[in-house]
Amino acid sequence: MRSDARAILRLAVPALGALAAEPLYVLVDTAIVGHLGSTPLAGLAVAGTLLTTLVWLTNFLEYGTTGGVARLFGAGREREALDVGVQATWLAVAVGLALTALIEATADPALRLIGGGDPAVHEQALSWIRVAALGAPFVCITLAGQGWLRGVQDTFTPLVVVVAGNVVSAALSAGLVYGAHLGIRGSAIANAVAQSGSAALFTVALLRRDVPFAPSWTRMRAQLTTARDLGIRTLAFLLAFSTATSVAARMGPTTVAAHQIAIQLWGFLALVLDAIAIAAQAMVGAAVGAGRVDAARALTWRVFAWGAVTGAAFAVVLLAGWSAVPRLFTSDPSVIDATHAAWPFLALMQPAAGAVFALDGVFIGAGDVTFMRNVTVVAGVCFYVPLSVVAYLAGLGLAGIWFGLTMFVAVRLCAGFLRIRGDAWLHAGLRQTPAAAALQHPAG
């Protein structure tokens, strides 16, 4: 068990660093553009929202690749595992080029829809995204690169590449924005250049594994089933969270400001908890691929416990910082008071959230993404969205919205807990490995 704990930490700690690097870079870039004035900063916010949302829909290139590679790697089929990475990279190129074309074609009306009617802000947003969209294929290749490396139990290389890319991007952004006087366009150029460098490093890492690099539509198409399931799941997330924010905005500026503080904290803590999920993807996937059913179950319960305990620690910190933590984000007494409506939900759901994120990693690693998709859609569309709307119609305020988010987590936790008590979650992954018979004759 100690070896399992060490292995989880060996994978989770570098994964956490890579996960944290992106939001930290965004903060730095925001500060660089922010010193140009409020209009360029507003333009970055509008354009960044559009690009981030669309890129988020391609996260199947990362998470789906990890599970597929991990199962084959655990089965001792390393060459086939690496071929999954190769095909994911080619798929990333295709998806990224399509994404670039989509953004360039629809940027003008999409940014008007998101940003409202301010022509100066729209001009800044359009200037940024026209250039930043050119980096979309490189972003997709980077996602695929992180995915296959995690699958072969390497989370350190992605950490090095992502941190190096973000450092280069931040330095280049400052130089182009201020030194070359390119304004907000300099930030976009820096993004695209750094992303191309990161993509190149991930591609070189794959080429050095000495595997054929020819694309195969048949093998790429096999990955699209996972892409479909994870894509639908992501859309359910976007619908649920955007609805909640929209409802909070209709409750008034104080309420939406308080909701923004709470939801950003929720998202930040989710990043930390997601590091455990990444370890689960790689380790459980490898165990399933090797047909080590008992080991997969033991790992599942261990990461489940780790997620819950880590979440409990966060809950204690949030409850202790009842008033102090919101003051880090605002000095407005009315907004601070408004956060207290969300705070008990934010804090007390953390153990459940930690367990849920860990189970997401288990299901991705085991190849049980269809179940995960269905549960997320039900929890989001049938619970979070309607409860948020009811909160507005019934005058329940921010507490009603956050009760909806709590139910979103609770439904997923209950369904996931019941799932891992049986064998069904193991079937999908085992069917893809030579160890498929292991479920019929499990050890012990």
Is 428 within 8 Å of 422 (Cβ atoms)?
no
Quick one: pLDDT at residue 223? Answer: 85
Rounded to the nearest 10 degrees, what angle do helices 119-132 and 184-207 cross at?
A: 20
In this prediction the pTM is 0.89
What is the torsion angle, in degrees rounded to the nearest 10, for the CA atoms of residue 21, residue 27, residue 30 and residue 34?
-150
Indicate the helix (H) or strand (E) that contains 167: helix 156-174
What is the torsion angle, in degrees rounded to the nearest 10, for the CA atoms of residue 221, residue 223, residue 226 and residue 228?
-30
Neighbours of 38 (CB within 10 A): 10
Quick one: pLDDT at residue 187? Answer: 94
Is 142 within 8 Å of 199 (Cβ atoms)?
yes
Is 43 within 8 Å of 73 (Cβ atoms)?
no
Quick one: pLDDT at residue 2? Answer: 56
Secondary structure E strands in 58-118 = none
Nearest Cα neighbor of 5 from 362, 303, 273, 295 is 303
pLDDT digits 0-9 by tens, 298-328: 999 999 999 999 999 999 999 999 889 888 8
Two structure tokens written together for 355: 């367990």
Between CA 243 and CA 400 the distance in angstroms is 13
Nearest Cα neighbor of 105 from 59, 143, 50 is 50
Between CA 352 and CA 356 the distance in angstroms is 6
Radius of gyration of the chain (CA): 22
Between CA 337 and CA 138 the distance in angstroms is 43
Two structure tokens written together for 49: 């929202």
Two structure tokens written together for 430: 């085992």
Which residue type occupies 64? Answer: G
What parts of the chain have a pLDDT lower than 50?
Answer: 434-444
Max CA separation in the chain (angstroms): 69
**What is the phi/psi pair of residue 426, to 5°?**
-85, -20
DSSP symbols for 178-232: IIS--THHHHHHHHHHHHHHHHHHHHHHHHTT-------HHHHHHHHHHHHHHHH
The contacts of residue 73 (CB under 8 Å, 6+ apart) are 81, 151, 152, 153, 285, 286, 289
Which residue type occupies 242? Answer: S
Neighbours of 270 (CB within 10 A): 17
Nearest Cα neighbor of 162 from 350, 24, 314, 328 is 24
